[in-house]
Amino acid sequence: MCLVLLFLPFLAPSDDEEKGKARNTLEMMQQDVPASPKKDMQPKECFLMKTKEKKEEATKAKRRRKKKITDILAKSEPKPGVPEDLQKLIAEQLSIKRSVIELEELKLPDSCFLPANDLSHSLSSYLKQICPKWSKLRKNHKEKKSLVMLIICSSALRALELIRSMTAFKGDCKVLKLFAKHIKIQEQVKLLEKSVVHLGVGTPGRIKALIQQDVLNLNSLKYLVFDWNWRDQKLRRLMDIPEIRKEVLELLEMRLISLCKADSLKLGIF
């Protein structure tokens, strides 16, 4: 391009064709000059980086907006459990492997249910309401390897909390911890065999194991209370935990439903 510019002054003024060719050559050379690769690449790189950043920001925003089940339950008003909830649960869970006739036999009679807790009671006040003659029942109970009242909860920690909260109700009766954490089943067997126990609080798995070993007799059992409405850290109730729900249903099938139908056992939903 520089050479063309240097030789232009030496062209003859009358030679118009040569001047035109020189100008055309100069224009073509200017058009064919390639753009700087750095200038071409920079906008493309910036565009791709901005697009990627926008996508990442959109993904993070979606993750932030996603609500968890615990968040929904935390904002919803708690509804107290009622006998219909237990009846519905039994029908739904057992209908998979049971015929219509078998399901009818497993249905609990309405007469076996005691008034449910409306969330206004402490455990002691609720137990006093459903069992006003506790003092008399406690004094008359003399049979070993049996209980008068059984409270089913979801964990060992919850069982200890319930035992501490029923001081006003239990009086001087003997209370047995019926859970697996830090307590061997042999220890519970010895306590049931050697002493008279009035009230038991524990998890359905350990209670079921003691019944299966013929260590815990249900003949004297008058009251069965479910710790239904309490929620754990994940806001799950007793029957919301799959493994606990399964064990409760198996426990009911073992003999408790037949005791309810015989009108010798009453159910409470706390």
134: pLDDT strictly greater than 60: yes
- Mean per-residue pLDDT for 141-154? 96
Query: In the predicted model, what is the mean pLDDT of residues 239-258?
Result: 93
CA separation for the pair 199, 171 (Å, rounded): 11
* Tokens read off for 242: 């799959």
pTM of the model: 0.72
Q: What's residue 92's pLDDT?
A: 87
pLDDT (0 to 100) of residue 245:
95
Q: Which of 66-80, 212-226, 249-263 has the lowest mean pLDDT?
A: 66-80
Higher per-residue confidence, 23 vs 2: 23
The contacts of residue 85 (CB under 8 Å, 6+ apart) are: 228, 239, 269
Hunting for tokens 């006040």 — which residue is that? Answer: 125
202 phi, psi to nearest 5 deg: 180, -170
The neighbouring-strand residues paired with 223 are: 149, 266
Cα distance between residue 73 and residue 232, in whole Å: 12
Asked if pLDDT for residue 203 goes beyond 50, the answer is yes
- Cα 190 from Cα 184, distance rounded (Å): 10
Which has the closest alpha carbon to 154: 259, 237, 66, 264?
Answer: 237
Residue 154 and residue 232 in contact, taking contact as beta carbons nearer than 8 Å: yes
Residue ranges and CATH numbers for the domains of the chain are: 80-269 (3.40.50)
Chain mean pLDDT for the chain? 82
pLDDT given for residue 16 in this prediction: 58
Residue range 203-212: mean pLDDT, rounded: 96
- Where residue 66 falls among pLDDT bands split at 50, 70, 90? low
Q: What are the tens digits of pLDDT across the range 8-43?
A: 444 444 455 555 665 665 555 555 545 555 545 555
pLDDT bucket at 4, cuts 50 / 70 / 90: very low
Model confidence at 51, pLDDT cuts 50, 70, 90, reads low
Residue 195 has pLDDT above 50, yes or no: yes
